[in-house]
Structure 1
Amino acid sequence: MTIYKLLNYFIATVWFANGLFCKVLNMVPRHQEIVARILGRDFAPLLTKAIGFSEIAMAVWIVSGIYPRINAIAQIVIIATMNVLEFILVPDLLLWGRFNLLFAFLFILLIWYNDFYLRHKPFQQP
């Protein structure tokens, strides 16, 4: 198995775990609290689950290999947008506070490296 595929599965696993365990199953209530503070308490449980299912769908899309460049761009935009909003609006609810933005940036770099560099290397099999 190539490094590209291994990283792809790792990235998909991050999306899947965050979607299923943290949001759909609400095993990390802090995620629902973040949604409540940003989007409002009334619909927070429903919106948190919807976000979770969307993250699971992202994991499936990653593994499917369909339109990988569009997928990578979508991931980067979603991660950047979500983390900048959280950085500004709810830093007190983040696992590492404002340092979450650093980890988000590193994850964005990993996605970029995997899809825009490794995927096109001659020795890699897409």
Structure 2
Amino acid sequence: MHRLLTYLIAMVWLANGLLCKLLALVPRHEAIVARILGPAHAGLLTRLIGLAEIGMAVWVISGVKRRWCAAAQIALILSMNALETWLAPDLLLWGRANAFFAGLFCLLLYYHTFGSARLSPR
């Protein structure tokens, strides 16, 4: 179960980074970046964010510094969703309810890394 959750978490980062941002299959992502960081370089910045998300997927799969990885993911998700909810709620898939799903994902990350620490290898 632990390994399956690891792969599912990595797939979330990979899908968002590769499909939504790098390949631009979900234009809404670039629109959010444009709203928050400005339209001048939104395309480039969106793709760079996508590369970073793919890097996060690799980090998750690697298992290196699992606790640091989970903490980084939780911090990124919470800060990213706070900015999006504040500055671009109309562009979010579920509007302001996105924060609820982001919170659930953060709880899953926390449980996967810290809550199940006694049950799985570090």
**What range is the shorter-chain TM-score in?**
over 0.9
Cα distance in structure 2, aligned partners of 1:26 and 1:86: 18
What TM-score do the two structures reach when normalised by structure 1?
A: 0.94
Deviations 1:76-120 (A, max 9, x none): 000000000001000000000000000000000000000001232
Matched with 2:79 is 81
Which of 49, 52, 70 is the matching residue for 2:68?
70
What's the CA shift for 1:39? 0.2
What's the CA shift for 1:15? 0.3
What's the CA shift for 1:45? 0.3
Cα distance in structure 2, aligned partners of 1:73 and 1:54: 16
- Poorly superposed stretches of 4+, deviation over 4 Å: none
Q: Indicate the percent of aligned positions where both proteins have the same amino acid.
A: 55
**What RMSD in Å do the two structures reach over aligned CA positions?**
0.9
What number of residue pairs does the alignment pair up? 122
Cα distance in structure 2, aligned partners of 1:55 and 1:66: 16
5+ residue gaps, structure 2? none
Cα distance in structure 1, aligned partners of 2:116 and 2:51: 28
5+ residue gaps, structure 1? none
Cα distance in structure 2, aligned partners of 1:92 and 1:119: 38
Q: Give the SS at the match of 1:55.
A: helix
Q: Is the 8 A contact 1:83 1:101 kept in 2?
A: yes
Cα distance in structure 2, aligned partners of 1:9 and 1:119: 17
Matched with 2:5 is 7
